[in-house]
Amino acid sequence: MLAKRLSLLIPVLFLLAFSAKADDIATVYFNGGYAFGDNGYGIPPYQGTLNGEDALFYCVDFTHDITGNTSWQATVTDISSTADYSSTRLGSGTIYSEIAWLLDQSVASGNQTTQAELQWAVWSFSGGGDPYGTNSLLVGEAQTAVANGFAPNNWNILTPIGSYGQEFLVDPPPPTDTPEPSSFLLLGIGLAVLGMGSLRISSQANAGNSTISRVPIHTAGS
């Protein structure tokens, strides 16, 4: 009977250990750096770290201001047809796909004016201005690209938890979650218990043969 119970405990322990991994939560740190200034705002990529690793952030959030040397927790959402956008600020996979297309063009461009125009088009989804008069054209191109099948596969959304922080897109995506130390501890304790049970079984068997089987320069607004 004991052995049967122990055998049933093994899959439960593994399930608990690996379901105890960290949620899709990341720590974002913004050090104040950005690519260049344009019309009073800092144009991404912004500089900082993601979960302690160097990262470049692309702001998609004109509404919220941030300052350098600050950090916050963020929910990580991949941009895909199966993703849940309920925790994001814009709430639409189509919009984020269009933004991803605009950012792809910006990353590929070496011209600061073009990059600024594309960034203002990105910010137009969250209330940004149109200093170059090109937002409508660029957003229209992004909408056409998505309608014709463009599907980003290299961007993740970082949505702040709480009121402070800007929503970013980050490329490459954050590393895959791994079990937390507490998960390994839980698994280790379980295996130790199993070991003690098997030792007990062995001892009893030997004794009696028993069967126990946005920078406000967006930084948004200075």
Residues 206-221 as b or e (16 or more Cβ within 10 Å = b): eeeeeebebbebbbbe
pLDDT digits (tens, 9 = 90+) for 45-63: 999 999 999 999 999 999 9
Are residues 133 and 190 located together in one domain of the fold? no
Phi/psi for 78 (5° steps) reads -80, 155
Any domain includes 120: yes
Residue spans of alpha helices (H) in 63-221: 93-108, 112-123, 135-147, 181-208
Q: For residue 142, what are the domain limits?
A: 24-170
Are residues 79 and 55 located together in one domain of the fold? yes
Any domain includes 83: yes
Are residues 35 and 91 located together in one domain of the fold? yes
pLDDT digits (tens, 9 = 90+) for 73-121: 999 999 999 999 999 999 999 999 999 999 999 999 999 999 999 999 9
Any domain includes 219: no
Q: Is the peptide bond before 160 cis (omega within 30 degrees of 0)?
A: no
* 68 pLDDT more than 80: yes
Any domain includes 220: no
* 130 pLDDT more than 60: yes
Are residues 150 and 65 located together in one domain of the fold? yes
44-53, 121-130, 197-206, range with the lowest pLDDT = 197-206
Tell me how far apart the terminal alpha carbons of the chain are, to the nearest angstrom.
Answer: 71
Are residues 52 and 152 located together in one domain of the fold? yes
Which residue in the block uniquely carries the two structure tokens 């922080």? 165
Q: What is the pLDDT of residue 172?
A: 60
Any domain includes 202: yes
Burial of 5: CB neighbours in 10 Å, binned 0-12, 13-18, 19+ = exposed
DSSP state of 124: G
Q: What is the pLDDT of residue 2?
A: 47
Q: What is the pLDDT of residue 136?
A: 98
Burial of 9: CB neighbours in 10 Å, binned 0-12, 13-18, 19+ = middle
Are residues 58 and 132 located together in one domain of the fold? yes
Name which residue leads in pLDDT, 145 or 6.
145
Are residues 45 and 131 located together in one domain of the fold? yes
pLDDT digits (tens, 9 = 90+) for 131-175: 999 999 999 999 999 999 999 988 999 999 999 999 999 986 445
Q: What is the pLDDT of residue 153?
A: 81
Residue type, 176: T
What value does the CA radius of gyration of the chain take, rounded to a whole number of Å? 25
Any domain includes 90: yes
